[in-house]
Chains A and B, each alone.
Chain A
Amino acid sequence: MIDFGEHFSMSLEDMIEEAYLNAIASVDKGLDPKEIEAAWYGTVYPAMGNSGLVLSHATGLFGIPITRVENACATGSDTFRNACFSVAAGLYNVVLVVGAEKMHDEPGGLLQRADLKRLWMGRGVTMPAFFGLRATAYMHKYGITREQVALVSVKNHHNGSLYPHAHLRFECSVEDVVNAPYVSYPLGLYDCCPVTDGAAALILARADIATRYTDNPVYVLGSGLATDSFVRGGDLTNFRASQNAAKQAYETAGVKPEDIDVAEIHDCFSITELISYEDLGFAEPGQGVKLLDEGHVHLGGEKPINPSGGLLAKGHPLGATGAAQIAELYEQLRGEAGPVQVKNPEIALQHNVGIGRFATGSVGCVHILGR
């Protein structure tokens, strides 16, 4: 991956090029680009057109299949998922996955999706509002305060302050979080992830030939993907899309939530991480705050969550996010995560939950990786 941040001087293709070169350079025993048989490219906003051609131009890979994937904030992870299928099906030996997003080229940004000129669907429902509606429902049902929700931001900004690729590298306190200007009450500025450019690339090889490239491979153990909509009912204190994706991933991997040693999960907003503890089976409904109170999910805890600083500190370039989480967990499992390395992890979980269809529904995606 590349450093996440405000890359006004780099185009979308410049970022992809750098992520690609970094990925190739990171292969222990070397990789000739000619060995790449196919590629999957995830991006949400087609800043340079909506085809796979952007990836060809960024990498010089022409004449091979390149597929563009888009699936809300789960774009990066669903891109990876589709590439996994091709390798698992025995079609290819080595494939490339790239997730990238240029968030700073359009001044209007995501806000414009909550357009006034719309009836019912999405009218005035910005991304902070979609998750803020979850926050209000969750806080109301379980008697949770803004100060308690803020513990997520405090933890992740601490981790981000240590993580070299993070966009925002400063710490903040509970007071900073609750006193920040409101974006969408009950969410304030520090409850929200920043607007960030970024790209991440991954090389995926068939498990039985992985040792040609490294003596220390990371394996994909499980994967899941699901959708849901708020119009179907339920109390808005969870994401069934995440729950169903997690169930599929745990089942395919043959592991349980308690087996997870480290996780990079979707904290686009503070509340999202809190709810996701429960959706992913790390805490009982309404009990997520306990994991923060007890330091269980902090860097030195039993199950560190978002050692990278998460989306809140590292940034959330939509299409890049899931791919970057997988790159980070790859480093964690290989013991290469430097200042944010957790102690000897063996099984890792990656999770995204995005919103789609004019903010009426969600897309959940979960992967489980192991050494």
Chain B
Amino acid sequence: MTSPLVWRISRESARLIGYKCTSCGWVSFPERKRTCKRCGAAPAEFEELQMKPFGKIISFVIQHRLPEGFQTPLPLAVVEFDEGARVYGEIIDCRPEEVQVGLEVEADLRVMYEENGLDIYSYKFKPRRGSA
């Protein structure tokens, strides 16, 4: 069984579906909202938006102290998708020294943790290489 917390956002989270405010352009992800968190429109009109798995690092830290289950040192970043949505994300498939502000990254579906014998998937981010 998936926790309600995860289940509520499962469609948007897994498919990278965002919601764009038609008055100011702010993008809500992964939660579907009825009011805009940037311009305050209430009710706001949102358009469903299929985001691409691409973005860039706005800022980052290298985590050295984390709860059980995480491996450290762990690069953790604020990532802004090309469509504007902002999220926290783990940076993978690179050395911590490669992580920098402005680095272009690609969202990659990974197992995040296990709950009641079920693998819970979501996105981590890896440097965008080659084909970009």
Interface of A toward B, CB cutoff 8 Å: 108, 111-112, 114-126, 128-129, 132-137, 140, 181-187, 229-233, 235-236, 359
Q: Which of B6, B9, B28, B62 has a CB less than 8 Å from the CB of A185?
A: B62
B105 to A: closest C-beta gap in Å: 15
In the complex, A184→B113 CA distance in Å?
Answer: 22
With A124-B70, A126-B63, A231-B86 already in contact, 8 other A-B pairs whose C-beta atoms are closer than 8 Å = A108-B67, A114-B66, A116-B70, A125-B76, A137-B59, A140-B59, A140-B101, A229-B37
Question: How many residues on the B side are at the interface (Cβ–Cβ under 8 A)?
Answer: 41
Interface of B toward A, CB cutoff 8 Å: 3, 5-6, 9, 13, 26, 28, 30, 37-38, 58-70, 73-74, 76-78, 84-88, 90, 96, 101, 112-113, 115, 120, 122
- Residues B112 and A230 in contact, CB atoms below 8 Å apart: no
Q: Nearest A residue to B13 by beta-carbon distance?
A: A119
Q: Which of A120, A122, A184, A231 contacts B64 (CB 8 A)?
A: A184
Question: Across the interface, which residues of B come within 8 angstroms of A229, CB to CB?
Answer: 37
Instruction: Write out the residue numbers on chain B whose beta carbons fall within 8 Å of the beta carbon of A136.
Output: 59-61, 101
Q: Say whether B68 contacts A129, CB under 8 Å.
A: no
Q: Would you call B6 and A119 a contact (CB within 8 A)?
A: yes
B128 to chain A, nearest CB (A): 19
Report how far A359 CA is from B86 CA in the complex, Å. Answer: 13
B66 and A124: CB pair below 8 A?
yes
Question: Do A129 and B63 contact each other (CB < 8 Å), given the known contacts A119-B122, A236-B78?
Answer: yes
Most B Cβ at <10 Å: residue of A123, A187, A230: A123
Q: Is there contact, CB below 8 Å, between B113 and A117? A: yes
Report the separation of the CA atoms of residues A181 and B62 in the bound assembly, to the nearest whole angstrom.
12
Closest residue of B by beta carbon distance from A108: B67
A119–B113 CA distance with the chains assembled, in angstroms = 10
User: A117 to chain B: which residues have CB within 8 Å?
Assistant: 3, 113, 115, 120
CB of A114, distance to nearest CB on chain B (Å): 6
Q: In whole angstroms, what is the CA distance A126 to B74 when docked?
A: 12
**Is there contact, CB below 8 Å, between A120 and B122?**
yes
Residue contacts A-B, CB under 8 angstroms, 24 given:
A115-B67, A116-B67, A116-B112, A117-B3, A120-B87, A121-B88, A122-B88, A124-B63, A124-B66, A124-B90, A125-B76, A133-B77, A134-B59, A136-B60, A140-B59, A184-B62, A184-B65, A185-B61, A229-B37, A231-B28, A232-B38, A233-B84, A236-B59, A236-B78
Q: Which residue of A lies closest to B90 (CB)?
A: A124
Nearest residue (CB) in B for A116 is B69
Contact across chains for A184 and B63 when beta carbons are under 8 A apart: yes
The answer for the CA separation of A236 and B102 in the assembled complex, in Å, is 13
- Report the bound CA distance from A120 to B28 in whole Å: 12
Docked complex Cα distance between A200 and B23 (Å): 46
Contact B88 A120 (CB under 8 A): yes
Give Cα distance in the complex from A54 to B70, angstroms.
36
What is the minimal beta-carbon distance from A230 to any residue of chain B, in angstroms?
Answer: 6
Tell me which residues across on chain A come within 8 A of B69, comparing CB atoms.
116
Contacts of A135 in B (CB 8 A): 61
Q: Please measure, in the bound complex, the distance between the C-alpha atom of A116 and the C-alpha atom of B77, giving whole angstroms.
A: 15
Q: Is the CB of A120 within 8 A of B61?
A: no
Known: A119-B6, A140-B101. A111 touches B86 (CB 8 A): no
Nearest CB in chain B: distance from A358 CB, A = 9
Whether B115 contacts A116 by the Cβ 8 Å rule is: no
Provide the residues of chain B in CB contact with A181, threshold 8 Å. 64
CB pair A120–B30 under 8 Å, yes or no, is yes
